[in-house]
Amino acid sequence: MRQFLPDYMIPKHIYFLTEFPLTANGKIDNQSLKLYCQEYQEEYLNQQPINGKEQIIITIWQKLLGTNKIHRHSHFFREGEIA
């Protein structure tokens, strides 16, 4: 996507839903949708490293980039751009 679109057009997160939460009026329930996305993101970011090797790599990234906000799904090059 990055080679075809400018950065502002690339979504930061993509969520897969089987259906949209709806209000009693049949409209998309934005509050429920935001809550779902927040809960999913928290669960995703709080996943623990699978093994010792993964933990070592995360620790190295944290030291190199000077931040503790590295998790097992961090994109090394994107994190390096903002660190």
Q: What is the pLDDT of residue 23?
A: 94
Residues 78 and 64 both lie in one domain? yes
Sign for the pseudo-dihedral over CA of 8, 71, 83, 76? negative
Q: Are residues 42 and 60 in the same domain?
A: no
Range of the domain at 23: 1-46
At 31 the pLDDT is 94
42 & 81 share domain: no
Question: What is the separation, in whole angstroms, between the first and last Cα of the chain?
Answer: 23
> Tell me, what's the pLDDT at 66?
84
Note whether 36 and 60 are same-domain residues. no
pTM, 2 dp: 0.48
Name, in order, each residue with C-beta under 8 angstroms of 83's C-beta and a sequence gap of 6 or more.
Answer: 65, 66, 67
Task: Specify the DSSP class assigned to residue 28.
Answer: B
Cα(28)–Cα(73) distance, rounded to whole angstroms? Answer: 29
d(CA 53, CA 2): 30
**Bridge partners of 22?**
28
Would you state the pLDDT for residue 20? 92
pLDDT tens-digit readout, 16-52: 889 999 999 999 999 999 998 888 877 777 777 778 8
Q: What is the pLDDT of residue 48?
A: 76
